[in-house]
Amino acid sequence: MNLLAALPHPVFAGFTGAFEFIFSKQESSVTGGKKVGGFEQVLELAWTQIYVSLLALALALVIAVPIGLYFGHRGAGELLAVGIGNAGRAVPELALIALIAAIIGVGIPVLTLALAVLGIPPILTNTFVGVRQADRSAVTAARGVGMTEFEILRKVELPMAVPGIMTGVRGSTVNIVATATIAPLVGVATLGEFILGENVYGTNGVLAGAICTAILALLFEFALAGLQRQLTSKGLRLQAQ
């Protein structure tokens, strides 16, 4: 922290307050003397954010991967996959969540659904593209040795599509983790509570919420990069080298 304070750039100097907020409780003018922030609260909120992000990611995977694999294998529906991919990126998440909340209320199910909608497009598009780009001669050879269509998908196309799928999953995850900061608007307290509660937590709290969210997104990214390595078949890895 002293190191940060010593940095000449005022932007970095502005971060010290945020780091203090993360590690120790701070005064607030509207709480009647109760201190806010601190590591315990950060951990609690971060944990909820991880939990809802994983739920949303799981739902997005369950929906997007099978559809992507199916259309990718059949080589049809490119318009659909790419169309949904592009349109999905343009959906304003706040408007979507308000719409769902008005219909079915608030809570974790609503949030999961809204975040999954955000996570589906990248996974769907990349799964589709990943399968389409599987080595055609390998697929033809598989068919030649008498594999069923399902076996071709599972044993040939899917392993070759793993890097593509994982690219989509990583993109989705960053989106979902970052957007989970709006959860306090629908009944779930995540790190967004700091960001949305400037009157209580102050500018340092807002910044702390943003920093912690960024760190979470990076952690997810590293974990998924590791997972991608594990999932990619040895042959493909060697080929890449």
Binding positions for another protein, rule: CB under 8 A? 28-32, 34, 36, 78-79, 82-83, 86-87, 90-92, 94-96, 98-99, 101-102, 104-107, 129, 133, 184-189, 192-193, 196-202
Residue (182 or 220) nearer to another protein, CB: 182
Residue (196 or 220) nearer to another protein, CB: 196
> To the nearest whole angstrom, how small is the minimum distance from the Cβ of residue 104 to another protein?
7
> To the nearest whole angstrom, how small is the minimum distance from the Cβ of residue 128 to another protein?
11
Residue (171 or 192) nearer to another protein, CB: 192
Residue (7 or 87) nearer to another protein, CB: 87
> To the nearest whole angstrom, how small is the minimum distance from the Cβ of residue 70 to another protein?
19
Residue (212 or 220) nearer to another protein, CB: 212
> To the nearest whole angstrom, how small is the minimum distance from the Cβ of residue 94 to another protein?
6
Which residues are bridge partners to 25 per DSSP?
37
Q: In whole angstroms, how far apart are CA 232 and each of 61, 62, 73, 220, 226?
A: 17, 20, 19, 18, 10
57-60 long-range contacts, Cβ below 8 Å, gap at least 24?
A: 57/116, 57/119, 57/169, 57/172, 57/173, 57/176, 59/112, 59/113, 59/116, 59/119, 60/115, 60/116, 60/118, 60/119, 60/120, 60/123, 60/172, 60/176
Q: How far apart are CA 185 and CA 177, in angstroms?
A: 15
Buried b (16+ CB within 10 A) or exposed e, 173-184: bbbbbbbbbbbb
Q: Match 């269509």 to its residue by tokens.
A: 149
Residue (3 or 79) nearer to another protein, CB: 79
Q: How far apart are CA 111 and CA 133, in angstroms?
A: 34
> To the nearest whole angstrom, how small is the minimum distance from the Cβ of residue 39 to another protein?
17
Q: Is 204:21 a contact under the CB 8 Å cutoff? A: yes
> To the nearest whole angstrom, how small is the minimum distance from the Cβ of residue 6 to another protein?
28
